[in-house]
């Protein structure tokens, strides 16, 4: 290998550590104006009237925009069910109502941010408050108030699986475990809140510079809402302070485009900039879905699973966002990576007046895996089996049928991943199977425990989506290759995508890494790459690069100078759920992972200290091992925040944790004593050089492994989290 498999320094490393890299809030243009947004800040109401007179009269205000100024007042990644601005004056019905506190009502553009803020506060809105629905189970009932009156139900999407006969499966079981699990909302809390700049470029395009995860989709949504053709809009992604799925749906992009376009029509040719505060970010963008899940699983005395029945209700919040895709993943992942002959799953995502749920690292898999792995750990305890041994007796193999009655694609190295991870964490395989000696180093109040979990994660959106990704490769030089340019729209959200794509380009061409120049993250420079999400970009980009390089080399050998080739890679086709049985081939590739977590629990204070995490992840081929290790460590720490600290509170539709002083994320003092990354390489037959994806995998098993460790230490099962000291003490019976 010339370039891949090496920990090459990131191409953006120097700019980021020296401060040369410009993030959205760092970018300024001459004569720019500033924008502020009036949020609804109420969970459910009809906007009866908006009086902007006082705001418009304030010195320094350039314009105030409301719903009547939006040409096509709708947007949404999966479904255009959200108004750009809520209020009277739109053609589309029911856009005069707000459905969560972060709905946007008006925009103020002014000479300075301070003036825009003062003017925003002068806008008077007359609301007619409506009843709020915050319980997704109640909202799913047939007689519930419809939050979208043009729909016949608050159920936004539903899935089902029917495999075998669960009644027969439970009759065959020697042990049955039933439980209800609840997983919480999680805030993305990326480093930089939403910020951006818009202007009309030299070609007359509405140009939006902001952080995002899918530039061409953002362009499409901006163009749709503004009533423009896509070629009239350009989207540029600058340096980004993280994403984790939280920038997949748009937040400020459309309103930035709207403001600069309407000003331009009025003869005001000025850039417009906006920077959200952390509080605005927390109320204004979507979160990880909260899930309520009921499970009933059965197994024989030897540990063989016989049946699984699961009922899932996801709190989708006010609008669709990606609730349907997240629900699809959770529906599959809730039965884990296991052979189960009889399966029944009913799942639904429900509209409420909460902040919407959307994409977040794992995309439904963490919720489903928490249920599946908790059930496996409880069954192992009931059968007096080691949790690793319990898994090894049930893991899916190459030809085994999943819950949706089709095998996993390609080779399935799950047993090897679980075995290597367990061995790395101190488990041994003896005559009676896998086991681990318990540590006896405990004080009277500090208890020690270790837990285990495993899982799988799809690569790509899947469920019938026609996955595609385009690369443009240019080979320059007269008698020898002097320079290779790769144009690719993949977003760089901090994970090292541009470096990995450059490495794969160098490898495919056969030149040193230093000869590759990356140009991208700009719809004006590159074609559609698809989203940087769902662990898909290494897989998709690598294949698109290989195709483009092959075509460019053919042209090079034929004498073209420069040799340029555009190539679109189409992933293997997938299928959506059969509406009756759920039968399908939902994904073209999976990543596989296992994890152990070792903890100390102080039973007097409820504090949990994470000592050690062993994370085994099959990446197919490690394009850049150091970047993968960073992804593993980051995923583990973020997942520990999910499991231990991040307690997002909403009451009656109002969020109470709107600052990082009340919504706690992990700091350096919360990081485990050790995170051991076991990078495994079992090649995917369709992946570039065998590569899969890794961004989401380390997150998925952490919560169930940690909760199993707490049970190992205390003897108490926790079926919800985060495990704050208060929740731990209540579970231990120390407080009411």
Distance of CA 21 to the CA centre of its chain: 25
pTM metric for this prediction: 0.97
pLDDT of 467 strictly over 80: yes
pLDDT per residue as tens digits for the range 92-151: 999 999 999 999 999 999 999 999 999 999 999 999 999 999 999 999 999 999 999 999
| Other Cβ atoms closer than 10 A to 618 | 27
The pLDDT score that the predictor gives to residue 438 is 77
* Closest C-alpha to 474, from 439, 449, 509, 447: 509
Structure tokens, 46:
């009809």
pLDDT per residue as tens digits for the range 527-550: 999 999 999 999 999 999 999 999
Mean pLDDT over the full length of the chain: 97
Cβ(339)–Cβ(120) below 8 Å: no
The pLDDT score that the predictor gives to residue 709 is 98
User: In angstroms, what CA-CA distances link 249 with 218, 220, 305, 362?
Assistant: 8, 12, 39, 16
Cβ(55)–Cβ(122) below 8 Å: yes
The pLDDT score that the predictor gives to residue 441 is 61
User: In angstroms, what CA-CA distances link 147 with 89, 220, 227, 315, 348?
Assistant: 20, 27, 27, 13, 16
The pLDDT score that the predictor gives to residue 152 is 96
The pLDDT score that the predictor gives to residue 443 is 72
Q: What is the C-alpha separation between 501 and 506, in angstroms, rounded?
A: 9
The pLDDT score that the predictor gives to residue 633 is 97
pLDDT of 442 strictly over 80: no
For helices 365-382 and 702-714, angle between their N-to-C axes, nearest 10 degrees = 30
B/e letters for 572-599, b = 16+ CB within 10 Å, e = fewer, are eebeebeeeebbbbbbbbbbbbbbbbbb
DSSP line for 255-324: HHHHHHHHHHHTT----EEEE--HHHHHHHS-BBPEEEEEEEEEE-TTS-EEEEEEEEEEEEETS-TTHH
Q: What is the C-alpha separation between 545 and 566, in angstroms, rounded?
A: 9
pLDDT per residue as tens digits for the range 603-654: 999 999 999 999 999 999 999 999 999 999 999 999 999 999 999 999 999 9
pLDDT per residue as tens digits for the range 364-405: 999 999 999 999 999 999 999 999 999 999 999 999 999 999
The predicted model gives 297-309 an average pLDDT of 98
- 3-state secondary structure string across 7-32: CCCCCCHHHHHHCCCCCHHHCCCCCC
pLDDT per residue as tens digits for the range 259-278: 999 999 999 999 999 999 99
pLDDT of 77 strictly over 70: yes
Q: Is 124 helix (H, G, I), strand (E, B) or coil?
A: strand
Reported confidence tier of residue 437, pLDDT bands at 50, 70, 90? confident
Q: What is the C-alpha separation between 261 and 200, in angstroms, rounded?
A: 8
Domains of the chain: 13-18+462-570 (3.30.365.10), 31-130 (3.90.1170.50), 290-461+579-731 (3.30.365.10)
Element containing residue 345 per DSSP (H, E): strand 342-351
The pLDDT score that the predictor gives to residue 440 is 64
pLDDT of 289 strictly over 80: yes
If you search the block for the tokens 């901090």, which residue do you land on?
494
Q: What is the C-alpha separation between 253 and 290, in angstroms, rounded?
A: 26
pLDDT per residue as tens digits for the range 159-184: 999 999 999 999 999 999 999 999 99
pLDDT per residue as tens digits for the range 406-428: 999 999 999 999 999 999 999 99
């Amino acid at each position: 290998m010339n370039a891949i498999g090496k920990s090459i320094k990131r191409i953006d490393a120097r700019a980021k550590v020296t401060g040369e890299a410009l993030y959205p809030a760092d970018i300024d243009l001459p004569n720019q104006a500033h924008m502020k947004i009036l949020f609804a800040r109420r969970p459910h109401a009809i906007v009866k009237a908006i009086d902007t007179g006082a705001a418009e009269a304030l010195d320094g205000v350039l314009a105030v925009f409301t719903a009547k100024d939006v040409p096509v007042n709708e947007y949404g990644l999966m479904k255009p069910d959200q108004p750009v601005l809520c209020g009277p004056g739109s053609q589309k019905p029911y856009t005069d109502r707000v459905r969560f506190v972060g709905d946007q009502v008006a925009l103020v553009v002014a000479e300075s941010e301070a003036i825009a803020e003062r003017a925003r506060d002068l806008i008077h809105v007359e609301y007619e408050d409506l009843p709020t629905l915050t319980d997704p189970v109640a909202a799913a009932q047939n007689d519930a108030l419809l939050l979208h009156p043009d729909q016949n139900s608050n159920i936004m999407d539903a899935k089902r699986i029917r495999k075998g006969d669960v009644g027969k499966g439970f009759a065959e079981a020697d042990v049955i475990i039933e439980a209800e699990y609840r997983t919480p909302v999680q805030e993305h809390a990326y480093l930089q809140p939403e910020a951006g700049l818009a202007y009309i470029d030299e070609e007359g395009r509405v140009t939006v510079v902001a952080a995002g995860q899918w530039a061409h989709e953002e362009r499409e949504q901006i163009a749709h809402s503004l009533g423009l053709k896509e070629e009239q809009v350009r989207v540029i992604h600058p340096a980004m302070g993280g994403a984790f799925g939280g920038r997949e749906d748009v937040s400020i992009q459309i309103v930035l485009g709207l403001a600069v376009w309407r000003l331009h029509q009025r003869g005001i040719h000025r850039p417009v900039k906006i920077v959200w505060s952390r509080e605005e970010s927390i109320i204004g963008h979507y979160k990880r879905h909260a899930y309520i899940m009921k499970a009933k699983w059965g197994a024989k005395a030897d540990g063989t699973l016989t049946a699984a029945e699961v009922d899932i209700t996801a709190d989708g919040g006010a609008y669709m966002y990606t609730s349907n895709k997240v629900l699809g993943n959770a529906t599959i992942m809730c039965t884990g990576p296991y052979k189960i002959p009889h399966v029944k799953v009913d799942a639904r995502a429900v509209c409420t007046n909460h902040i919407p749920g959307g994409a977040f690292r794992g995309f439904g898999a963490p919720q489903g895996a928490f249920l599946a792995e908790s059930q496996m750990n409880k069954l192992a305890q009931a059968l007096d089996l080691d949790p690793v041994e319990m898994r090894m007796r049930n893991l899916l193999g190459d030809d085994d049928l999943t819950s949706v009655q089709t095998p996993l694609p390609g080779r399935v190295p799950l047993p090897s991943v679980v075995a290597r991870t367990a061995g790395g964490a101190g488990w041994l395989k003896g005559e009676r199977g896998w086991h681990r000696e318990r540590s006896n180093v405990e004080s009277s109040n500090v208890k020690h425990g270790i837990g285990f979990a495993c899982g799988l994660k799809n690569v790509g959106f899947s469920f019938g989506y026609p996955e595609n990704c385009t690369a443009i490769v240019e080979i320059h030089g007269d008698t020898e290759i002097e320079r290779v340019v790769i144009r690719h729209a993949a977003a760089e959200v901090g994970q090292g995508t541009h470096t990995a794509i450059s490495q794969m380009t160098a490898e495919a061409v056969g030149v040193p890494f230093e000869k590759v120049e990356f140009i991208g993250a700009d719809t004006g420079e590159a074609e559609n790459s698809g989203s940087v999400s769902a662990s898909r970009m290494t897989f998709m980009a690598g294949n698109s690069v290989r195709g483009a390089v092959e075509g460019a080399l053919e042209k090079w050998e034929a004498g073209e100078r420069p040799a340029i080739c555009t190539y679109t890679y189409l992933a293997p086709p997938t299928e959506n759920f059969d509406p009756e049985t759920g039968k399908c081939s939902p994904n073209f590739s999976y990543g596989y992972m296992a994890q152990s977590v070792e903890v100390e629990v102080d039973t007097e204070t409820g504090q949990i200290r994470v000592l050690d995490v062993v994370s085994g992840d099959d990446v197919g081929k490690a394009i850049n091992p150091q970047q993968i290790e960073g992804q593993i460590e980051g995923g583990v720490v973020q997942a520990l925040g999910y499991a231990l600290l991040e307690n997002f509170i909403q009451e009656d539709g109002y969020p109470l944790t709107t600052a990082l002083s009340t919504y706690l994320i992990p700091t350096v003092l919360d990081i485990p004593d050790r995170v051991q990354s076991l990078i495994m390489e079992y090649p995917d037959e369709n992946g570039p050089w065998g590569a899969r994806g890794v961004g989401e995998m380390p997150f998925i098993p952490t919560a169930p492994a940690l909760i199993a460790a707490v049970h190992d230490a205390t003897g108490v099962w926790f079926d919800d989290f985060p495990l704050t000291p208060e929740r731990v003490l209540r579970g231990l019976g120390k407080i009411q």
